[in-house]
């Protein structure tokens, strides 16, 4: 008879089979069985938690006992994490830039030089009548000149001009910023009388976007690659520690340890490596940020802008730390599982 | 308790370690397994421990054909068999106390209860005063007694021993065997592989004699 043929019997009762087949009182037995099952379950749960706690501490002490070697392992993990994380941060700041660009995606309608203010009013109304236009802003020739001077800082050179060479322009905010839709709107607006030229400055928005997309994919690919690197680093370290504790594993398997029991200390070691590596990576990112922030601020100031390097916020740090912990755990799991099958008690 | 039915075991398809084994061991019996080295004593014990499956026939322990046990059930099966190894299989980086408590730790016995049982087992083998020592500080006979304490600490219903007196002098060997007899007296089924013929002949228990993987004699059966 197979033990699995009697599902109610707990796994451990295989050798006590004869007793359970002869129950003296049929109506009282199930109740008693249920209660003992319950206490057995809760005590087993407590034992499980106890083993987890003791293995977590045990593997932590093992790490602390050989600080240098383990620190090097964690540093390798940290370096593997810092590179994709830094790239991701850079892209994140580029994305902020991108969001600003979305708002400033506009068309500029340049009127003929001969157009006066009244004509400009009429054309603006016509433009506003287009269904795919969200809003417009009329910029007089003088306003245009002032903006031009401001943005280029060429006060002196432009002050020498006798007359204003700029036409009146209308800035149009389109409903859709899809290139095709904007192009179509542009040609519609260009057909209006009194309009000299419509300019869609989409090319560089597109370019920047493509660049950001490229960067995102590179970061993802690097992240995957370096994540694999972390798995390998942890896997290899755990493999060595499995080899050095091979005898111990054989012995405990001989006396009835489950695979989960044997695997547990190594999983905790792997997770600790991940935690340590993640913390070191956060530290490295902080140091790098501090080191670069001065020159970056100086550079931005020279362009009259203020820009600060992006930093990992709490969410980002949590994500990085959980990723590295998970990777460490997974690396250990792979290494131990691969070796468990090769461990045959003698 | 144990039944071998037409059991055969081949290694690598050629070498026949065991062939046509048929015998039964009753609950509470004490049996010696003997034969020259290489006769198949260890292979037989490995089959009972479910470290290996038979190539032919059935090994039935406590009513279960143990070849049918799923891999995940094997650890739970092994917890009910105490095993004493010739080379002790102790962990040398742990104290005697921790070595003996290992089976209880694996089973998740509550620490205070475990400590009580470990001390009881160590007391039984006369090593209570050495509980803090490391295995390396103990003599061969003492290490073997630690192995026995570990095998009995969770009160198994079946106790197996593979050459438990392998490298011990006659007096120590007799002491160890007396220990096994004590456990047998309280109802534990005991099976001991040994080639110390002089010793086991004196003890007057059932003897299974193996030769080239076959059962050639079954002496003193009740």
What residue ranges do the domains of chain A occupy? 49-100+207-340, 106-201
- Classify A100 in phi/psi space as left (phi over 0), alpha (psi -120 to 50) or beta: alpha
- Classify A153 in phi/psi space as left (phi over 0), alpha (psi -120 to 50) or beta: left
The alpha carbon dihedral of A30, A32, A35, A37 has a sign of: negative
Per-residue pLDDT band for A166 (boundaries 50, 70, 90) equals confident
Is residue B10 over pLDDT 90?
no
Closest by CA to A137, choosing from A151, A150, A116, A121, is A121
Report the gap between the CA of B86 and the closest CA in chain A (Å): 11
Crossing angle of helices A314-340 and A259-302, in 10° steps, is 150
B139 and A CB contact within 8 Å: no
Q: Which of A49, A55, A62, A255 to mutate: most B Cβ within 10 Å?
A: A255
Closest by CA to A89, choosing from A322, A312, A303, is A312
pTM to 2 decimal places: 0.73
For residue A3, the model assigns a pLDDT of 43
| Cβ-defined contact of A11 to B76 (cutoff 8 Å) | yes
| Cβ-defined contact of A14 to B158 (cutoff 8 Å) | no
What token pair was written down for A153?
């800082």
CA distance A182 to A202: 9
H or E stretch covering B6? strand B2-11
Report the gap between the CA of B107 and the closest CA in chain A (Å): 8
H or E stretch covering B24? strand B15-25
| Cβ-defined contact of B106 to A255 (cutoff 8 Å) | yes
Eight-class DSSP state of A175: S
Q: Give the mean pLDDT of A143-160.
A: 69
The alpha carbon dihedral of B175, B181, B185, B186 has a sign of: positive
CA distance B213 to B74: 25
H or E stretch covering B214? strand B214-219
CA distance B154 to B105: 10
Does residue A300 or residue A68 have the better pLDDT? A68
For residue B40, the model assigns a pLDDT of 87
For residue A155, the model assigns a pLDDT of 60
Among the residue ranges A12-16, A81-85, A178-182, A184-188, the one predicted with the least confidence is: A12-16
Per-residue pLDDT band for A287 (boundaries 50, 70, 90) equals very high
ipTM value greater than 0.95: no
CA distance B207 to B211: 13
Is residue A88 over pLDDT 70?
yes
User: First-to-last CA distance in chain A?
Assistant: 28
At a CB cut-off of 8 Å and minimum separation 6, what does A156 contact?
A: none
Cβ–Cβ pairs < 8 A, chains A and B: 91
The DSSP secondary structure of B31-92, one letter per residue, reads EEEE-STTSSHHHHHHHHTTSS--SEEEEEETTEEGGGS-TTTHHHHHTTEEEE-TT----T
| Cβ-defined contact of B106 to A257 (cutoff 8 Å) | yes
Does residue A261 or residue A116 have the better pLDDT? A261
Given a contact cutoff of 8 angstroms between Cβ atoms, the answer to whether A312 and A285 are in contact is yes
| Cβ-defined contact of A47 to B110 (cutoff 8 Å) | yes
Provide the 3-class DSSP secondary structure of residue B163: coil
Per-residue pLDDT band for A271 (boundaries 50, 70, 90) equals very high
Instruction: Report, in this order, helix, strand and coil percent for chain A, each rounded to 5.
Output: 75, 5, 20
What token pair was written down for A49?
């938690």
Among the residue ranges A30-39, A139-148, B144-153, B162-171, the one predicted with the least confidence is: A30-39
Is residue B217 over pLDDT 50?
yes
Task: Give the residue on A whose Cα is nearest the Cα of B84.
Answer: A255
For residue A14, the model assigns a pLDDT of 45
CB-side exposure of A215: number of CA atoms within 13 Å?
Answer: 17
A14, A47, A344 ranked by CB distance to B64: nearest: A14
Report the share of chain A in percent with pLDDT over 70: 77
Per-residue pLDDT band for A146 (boundaries 50, 70, 90) equals confident
CA distance A145 to A167: 9
Is residue A164 over pLDDT 80?
no
Given a contact cutoff of 8 angstroms between Cβ atoms, the answer to whether A336 and A238 are in contact is yes
Given a contact cutoff of 8 angstroms between Cβ atoms, the answer to whether A98 and A204 are in contact is no
Q: Give the mean pLDDT of A63-74.
A: 88
Query: Which residues of A have a CB under 8 Å from any CB of B?
Result: 1-4, 11-12, 14-18, 43-44, 46-48, 50-51, 247-248, 250-259, 261, 344-345
A 10 A CB-CB count for A38 gives: 10
Is residue A81 over pLDDT 80?
yes
Closest by CA to B174, choosing from B194, B149, B153, B150, is B194
| Cβ-defined contact of B103 to A256 (cutoff 8 Å) | yes
Given a contact cutoff of 8 angstroms between Cβ atoms, the answer to whether A49 and A22 are in contact is no
B49, B76, B103 ranked by CB distance to A12: nearest: B76
Burial class from Cβ neighbours inside 10 Å (0-12, 13-18, 19+) for residue A187 reads exposed
**CATH class of the domain whose range is A106-201:** alpha beta
- Classify B163 in phi/psi space as left (phi over 0), alpha (psi -120 to 50) or beta: left
B206 and A CB contact within 8 Å: no
Eight-class DSSP state of A167: P
Task: Give the residue on A whose Cα is nearest the Cα of B150.
Answer: A255
Report the share of chain B in percent with pLDDT over 90: 51
| Cβ-defined contact of B106 to A261 (cutoff 8 Å) | yes
What token pair was written down for A90?
């850079």
Burial class from Cβ neighbours inside 10 Å (0-12, 13-18, 19+) for residue B178 reads exposed
What stretches of B50-205 adopt beta strand conformation (E)? Answer: 56-61, 64-65, 81-84, 158-162, 189-193
Closest by CA to A223, choosing from A281, A302, A149, is A281
Residues of A in contact with B69 (CB under 8 A): 2-3
Q: For the sheet containing B206-211, what is the strand order?
A: B81-84, B158-162, B189-193, B30-34, B206-211, B214-219
Mean pLDDT score of chain B, rounded to an integer? 89
CA distance A80 to B100: 43
Given a contact cutoff of 8 angstroms between Cβ atoms, the answer to whether B200 and B165 are in contact is no
Given a contact cutoff of 8 angstroms between Cβ atoms, the answer to whether A90 and A215 are in contact is yes
């Amino acid at each position: 008879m197979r033990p699995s043929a009697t599902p109610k019997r707990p796994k451990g009762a295989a050798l006590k089979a004869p007793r359970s087949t002869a129950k003296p009182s049929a109506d009282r037995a199930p109740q008693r069985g249920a209660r003992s099952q319950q206490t057995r379950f809760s005590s087993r749960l407590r034992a499980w938690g106890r083993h987890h706690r003791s293995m977590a501490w045990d593997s932590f002490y093992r790490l602390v006992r050989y600080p240098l070697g383990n620190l090097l392992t964690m540093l390798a993990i940290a370096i593997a994490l810092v590179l994709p994380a830094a790239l991701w941060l850079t892209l994140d700041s580029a994305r902020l830039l991108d969001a600003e660009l979305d708002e400033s995606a506009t068309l500029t309608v340049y009127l003929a030089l001969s157009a006066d203010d009244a004509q400009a009013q009429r054309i603006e109304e016509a433009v506003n009548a287009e269904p795919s236009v969200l809003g417009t802003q009329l910029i007089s020739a003088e306003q245009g000149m002032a903006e031009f001077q401001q943005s280029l800082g060429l006060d002196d050179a432009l002050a020498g001009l006798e007359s204003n060479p700029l036409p009146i322009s209308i800035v149009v905010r389109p409903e859709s910023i899809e290139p095709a839709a904007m192009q179509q709107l542009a040609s519609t607006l260009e057909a209006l009388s009194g309009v000299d030229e419509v300019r869609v400055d989409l090319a560089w928005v597109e370019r920047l976007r493509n660049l950001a997309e490229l960067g995102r994919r590179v970061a993802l690919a690097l992240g995957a690659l370096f994540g694999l690197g972390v798995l390998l680093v942890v896997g290899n370290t755990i493999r060595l520690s499995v080899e050095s504790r091979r005898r111990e594993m054989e012995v405990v398997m001989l006396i009835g340890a489950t695979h989960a029991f044997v695997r547990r200390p190594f999983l905790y070691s792997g997770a600790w490596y991940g935690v340590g590596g993640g913390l070191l990576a956060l530290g490295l990112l902080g140091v790098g940020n501090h080191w670069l922030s001065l020159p970056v601020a100086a550079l931005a100031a020279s362009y009259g802008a203020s820009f600060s390097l992006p930093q990992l916020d709490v969410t980002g740090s949590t994500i990085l730390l959980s990723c590295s912990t998970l990777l460490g755990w997974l690396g250990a799991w792979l290494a131990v599982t691969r070796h468990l099958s090769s461990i045959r008690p003698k | 308790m144990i039944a071998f039915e037409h059991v055969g075991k081949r290694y690598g398809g050629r070498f026949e370690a065991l062939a046509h084994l048929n015998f039964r061991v009753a609950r509470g019996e004490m049996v010696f397994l003997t034969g020259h080295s290489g006769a198949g004593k260890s292979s037989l014990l490995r089959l009972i421990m479910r470290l290996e499956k038979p190539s032919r026939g059935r090994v039935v322990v406590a009513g279960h054909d143990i070849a049918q046990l799923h891999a995940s059930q094997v650890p739970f099966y092994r917890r009910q068999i105490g095993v004493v190894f010739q080379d002790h299989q102790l962990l040398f980086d742990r104290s005697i106390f921790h070595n003996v408590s290992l089976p209880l730790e694996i089973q998740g016995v509550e620490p205070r209860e475990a400590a009580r049982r470990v001390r009881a087992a160590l007391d039984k083998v006369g090593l209570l005063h050495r509980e803090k020592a490391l295995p390396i500080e103990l003599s061969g006979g003492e290490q073997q007694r630690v192995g026995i304490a570990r095998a009995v600490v969770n009160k198994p219903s079946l106790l197996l021993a593979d050459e438990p007196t392998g490298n011990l002098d006659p007096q120590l060997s007799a002491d160890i065997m007396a220990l096994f007899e004590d456990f047998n007296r309280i109802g534990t089924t005991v099976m001991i592989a040994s080639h110390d013929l002089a010793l086991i002949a004196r003890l007057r228990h059932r003897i299974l004699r193996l030769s080239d993987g076959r059962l050639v004699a079954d002496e003193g059966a009740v």
